[in-house]
Structure 1
Amino acid sequence: MPITFDNIAGGELAEKFSMALAQIGRNIIDPNMDPEAARGMTINLKFKPSKAGTIQVAFNIRTKLAGIAKTETVFLIGQDARTGRVEMSEYGNNRPAVTGAYDAVPADPGAHEKAFDPDTGEILEEERRGPIDLRSAR
């Protein structure tokens, strides 16, 4: 029986070739992959003769696929002056307007918000009358 690509190792080489070709095809049509990157396939056959007159053949197929396409965007970041919460949003996108990244100060459920001057951000405190008794503040 003559040796052909289709009958090496009972058709295993041809099957691995088909699987690698399908993998390359899926990579090409995937919209997340770099559309202009070159893909490739390497078929490696290694022949090792023995003194007994036989040849041991090892083979493998490697694919080179495109990586994920590079994408850029712009995020806007700011901090809420009242709560201290840092917020981010993506510029020019129809996604939800604000995503909270983290709270600068953990919210204390028992604490009440203090009034502040919106122009300067200064916290307005109630005027104290008389001296402060530090012994009672324990």
Structure 2
Amino acid sequence: MKQVNLEKFAGGALSQQVSRAINQVMRNMQDVNTPSKDKRKVTVDLTFEQDEQREDVQVIINVKTKLSSTIPSKTKFYVGKDLDTGEVEFQEYGNKDTMKGQMEMNQETGELEEVGSKNLRRFQKAQ
């Protein structure tokens, strides 16, 4: 039986697609945002379709990767209602510069100042 040169198969397309898929897997394995223990996979699918006379055969090449998904990220929000206006307020928890009601001492005057109000988001009431 005749040997098939996989490097030259489909004008090199098979080799090129497999190489690209392996590179994707390797990049995914080095991504610190993915679990290190997950298995990755490269699947090469060659589908052969022949005509009624059995003379011409079309080969469809499909190279797929199964990569690890990223590790989920989490955050928390403060949610409340402004008692004066009734508007819903929300703010992502973070450092002292982003939370409503946080106090900071002014280094020059020694006075306490509220910080974070400038980053507070408000929902407008529906009309």
User: Do both share a fold (TM > 0.5)?
Assistant: yes
3-state SS of paired residue (1:41): strand
Residues 9-88 of structure 1: pairs in structure 2 closer than 5 A? 9-48=10-49, 55-88=57-90
Query: C-alpha displacement at 1:3, in angstroms?
Result: 1.9
Q: Deviations over 1:48-87 (max 9, x none)?
A: 5665566543321011122232122222211111122222
Secondary structure of 1:5's counterpart equals coil
Change (3 A) 1:105 1:15: closer
Distance 1:72 1:22, change over 3 A: same
Secondary structure of 2:7's counterpart equals helix
CA distance in 1 between counterparts of 2:85 and 2:30 reads 47
Which structure is richer in relative contact order (CA contacts within 8 A, separation 6 or more)? 2
The amino acid across from 1:84 in the alignment is: G
How far apart in 2 are the matches of 1:52 and 1:103? Answer: 69
Q: Does 1:90 align with 2:92?
A: yes
Cα distance, 1:101–1:30 mapped onto 2, change above 3 Å: farther
Larger strand proportion of the pair: 2
Mark the runs of 5 or more structure 2 residues left unpaired by the alignment.
101-119
Q: What is the rounded CA distance, in whole Å, between the counterparts of 1:57 and 1:84 in structure 2? A: 66
1:72 alignment partner AA: K
- Cross-structure match for 1:100: 121
RMSD: 3.0
Q: Which protein is bigger by CA-based radius of gyration? A: 1
Provide the secondary structure at the position in 1 that maps to 2:70: coil
Point out where structure 1 has 5 or more consecutive residues left out of the alignment: 107-138
Counterparts of 1:63 and 1:56, CA distance in 2: 23
- Whether the 8 Å CA contact 1:44–1:60 is kept in 2: the answer is yes
